[in-house]
Amino acid sequence: MEKVIIFDTTLRDGEQSPGASLNTKQKLEIAHQLSALGVDVFEAGFPASSPGDFEAVSLIAKKVKGPIICGLARALRKDIDICFNAIKHSKKRRIHTFLATSPIHMKYKLKLTPNEVLRRAVDAVKYAKSKTFDVEFSPEDAARSESDFLCRVVEAVIDAGATTVNIPDTVGYSIPSEFGELIARLFARVPNINKAVISVHCHNDLGLAVANSLAAVMNGARQVECTINGLGERAGNASLEEIVMCLRTRKKFFNLSTGIKTTEISKTSKLVSSLTGMIIQPNKAIVGNNAFAHEAGIHQHGVLARSSTYEIMTPQSIGLKASSLVLGKHSGRHAFEKKLRELGIRLTPGEFEKAFKDFKTLADKKKDIYDEDIESIIEDELSQSGEKRMYELENIFISSGTGMKPVARIKLKKGNKSFSAEASGDGPVDSSYKAVDKIISQKFKLIDYSVKSISIGKDAVGEAMIRLNYKGKTFFGRGTSTDVIEASVKAYLSAINKVLRK
């Protein structure tokens, strides 16, 4: 099985993402993790671009062992000198030089004729070759270059000593079939092409970077340049994790391998995200929070029966412990039952059905359901198990605000009868409690009241706890809801029902 060389450019092209700048210490930390990940080559930076980049590349070349350490240089002798001085400390080093070959770049950016570009490219490769054996050349904007001229350039730089020739889709313009044909054409028309590794570097402007890279691989390219989380200029580069897991998951189709330790993928992704401040979108393939998460009841049932029903790769393969069954309004009984087992909760069939119904009611109100929410539901059910509720809250209406008197209208249910009352107090909770007292036709002394969040987020479940004194005895009540006023009334009724049962 042939191997695809993984060339990571997170520290160079990835760092060019707006807002993703890294300091030297952070670059070194990522470099060590890329080595642990098993990348074959990583581009440590562009040494001539700034003293800071030179320092970072130089330090990485001294400290990091394993991969080939590559530096980028324009097709200028001074850039190549600076690049070599930065990477020379590594035993495995590469100079990557580049020059644009598309008509639009040559005319408007370089202001050079094609023959001048060809001569400068050859001179740059020869000069870099005099510094180190491993030299890579990129005809920038190759995807928009004229076919004949691109073939001439590739042949000439290989003759000049390039060990790798990278074909970039610099502006993400290509379509997979088109880019695959470009690589196939080079193999058919460049006579010395087998003397170098053909690489590709695809940008994601049309969302096709990974697809274009794989099309190139299917047509003979054996190095893919990519970044962690798909970072890079504009819309980014081909995502390393997507390239690697495509080749691994569809091994029989591609018949190719990589040297990546895939169990390090999740760790590397999180490190890069943390240090660059570039948040990973939840639905990002492979490393997004939702990549191995299932909420729909049908999917959850399938995954519980056999994970491969809805998972084409295992979460463990990228370094995660397990899939995530997300509890929400689309979840079914199987996922809810599994969550209860994980929490060590056992219920009778009747208790389970009531708890599941309460869970679905909560899920319609609350976007994220946490373990604390489930435990709260169960505690509420178990506290009522075997006891007839005397009064239950049917609905509540509160009118309150700055400079106005709070008013609460409460409707309670007892058996088949409903009772309503309205009252005003010092605040919405006090008003609600006074309305309840009117319905019960008794007064209770509140000796303790507290409310707190028992889960996470702005839609968290609130838990109210109270203590009542009635005829010298203390009664405890507890209530939960996403509405703290509702939780407070439930807690009050919980304690009152205990008083009345006595």
End-to-end CA distance of the chain: 78
pTM listed for this prediction:
0.75
> Which position has the token pair 């405890």?
476
Alpha-carbon distance of 297 to 332, in angstroms, equals 4
- pLDDT of 309 reads 87
Query: What 3-state class would DSSP assign to 208?
Result: coil
Q: List the 473-481 sheet strands across, edge first.
A: 445-453, 462-470, 473-481
H or E segment at 24? helix 24-37
- pLDDT of 502 reads 63
Tell me the CATH architecture of domain 2-276: Alpha-Beta Barrel (3.20)
* Residues 6+ positions from 298 with CB-CB distance below 8 Å: 332
Alpha-carbon distance of 384 to 196, in angstroms, equals 75
Alpha-carbon distance of 181 to 175, in angstroms, equals 10
Cβ(410)–Cβ(489) below 8 Å = yes
Q: Helices 333-342 and 297-305, interaxial angle, to 10°?
A: 60
Please determine, looking at this structure, whether the domain spanning 392-501 carries the CATH number 3.30.160.270: yes
- pLDDT of 386 reads 47
Alpha-carbon distance of 17 to 276, in angstroms, equals 9
Tens digits of pLDDT across the chain (502 residues): 899 999 999 999 999 888 888 999 999 999 999 999 999 999 999 999 999 999 999 999 999 999 999 999 999 999 999 999 999 999 999 999 999 999 999 999 999 999 999 999 999 999 999 999 999 999 999 999 999 999 999 999 999 999 999 999 999 999 999 999 999 999 999 999 999 999 999 999 999 999 999 999 999 999 999 999 999 999 999 999 999 999 999 999 999 999 999 999 999 999 999 999 998 998 999 999 888 877 676 777 777 788 788 888 999 999 988 877 667 788 888 888 888 887 778 888 888 888 888 888 888 877 777 666 776 677 666 655 544 557 889 999 999 888 889 999 999 998 888 999 999 999 999 999 999 999 998 888 899 898 888 766 776 788 888 888 888 888 888 888 888 999 999 999 988 887 887 6
Structure tokens at 10: 């997170």
- pLDDT of 383 reads 57
Query: What 3-state class would DSSP assign to 177?
Result: helix
Alpha-carbon distance of 193 to 191, in angstroms, equals 6
The DSSP bridge partners found for residue 135 are 95
- pLDDT of 189 reads 98
Segments making up each domain of the chain, as ranges: 2-276, 293-384, 392-501
DSSP letters, 382-437, are: HHHTT---S-EEEEEEEEEETTEEEEEEEEEEETTEEEEEEEE-SSHHHHHHHHHH
Structure tokens at 463: 């838990």
- pLDDT of 220 reads 98
Burial class (CB in 10 A: 0-12, 13-18, 19+), 38: middle
Q: Residue 44's closest CA among 86, 100, 104?
A: 86
DSSP letters, 260-308, are: --GGGHHHHHHHHHHHH--PPPTT-TTTSTTTTEE-SHHHHHHHHH-GG
